[in-house]
Amino acid sequence: MKINEYGVLDKETKVKFDTSTHRSESLLNCVHINILDPIKTKSLGEQRYFVSFVDDLSGYCWVYTMRQRFEVLDMLVKWKNMIEKQTGRKNKVLQIDNVGKYKD
């Protein structure tokens, strides 16, 4: 046990991380989509929701803000068009909020 900078007794625990293995064999093979719950304080543009797209292989992440949760479909279409145009690759699998996988 150790006393931290605030004078509070902390327990130190060692956490062992297993080496990560990617399930994807190429970029955009699997992309994880997370929709964050609304934040209490709106941004200047009155945005309260966030959606993130994370490539399974590279770990590269794109984050977009939205006013309403239902805008996620529009963001997905815009992101998909942009990324396929930039990379010349097609996205194969989407995993949304750990709910399940959706193919094409």
- Could you give the angle at the alpha carbon of 28 between the alpha carbons of 88 and 103, nearest 5°? 110
Is residue 14, in this structure, part of any structural domain at all?
no
Range of the domain at 94: 19-99
The values of phi and psi at residue 103, to 5°, are: -105, 135
**CATH number of the domain within which 78 lies:** 3.30.420.10
Q: What is the pLDDT of residues 15-67, one digit of tens each?
A: 565 555 556 778 888 999 998 888 888 888 889 998 999 998 888 999 999 99
- 3-state DSSP: the chain helix, strand, coil percent, rounded to 5? 20, 30, 50
Conformation bin of residue 101: beta by default, left when phi > 0, alpha when psi is -120 to 50 = beta
DSSP-derived secondary structure letter, 7: S
Residue 19 CB neighbour total at 10 angstroms: 4
Q: Which residue has the higher pLDDT, 99 or 61?
A: 61
What is the pLDDT, as a whole number, of residue 38?
Answer: 86
Is pLDDT at 102 greater than 80 in this prediction?
no
Q: How confident is the model at residue 83 (pLDDT cuts 50, 70, 90)?
A: very high
Is residue 5, in this structure, part of any structural domain at all?
no
Q: Which residue has the higher pLDDT, 98 or 61?
A: 61
Domain count, the chain: 1
Is residue 6, in this structure, part of any structural domain at all?
no
CA 26 to centroid of chain Cα atoms: 18
The structure's pTM equals: 0.70
What is the pLDDT, as a whole number, of residue 40?
Answer: 86
Is residue 7, in this structure, part of any structural domain at all?
no
Pairing mode, if any, of strands 61-66 and 100-103?
Answer: unpaired
What is the pLDDT, as a whole number, of residue 44?
Answer: 84
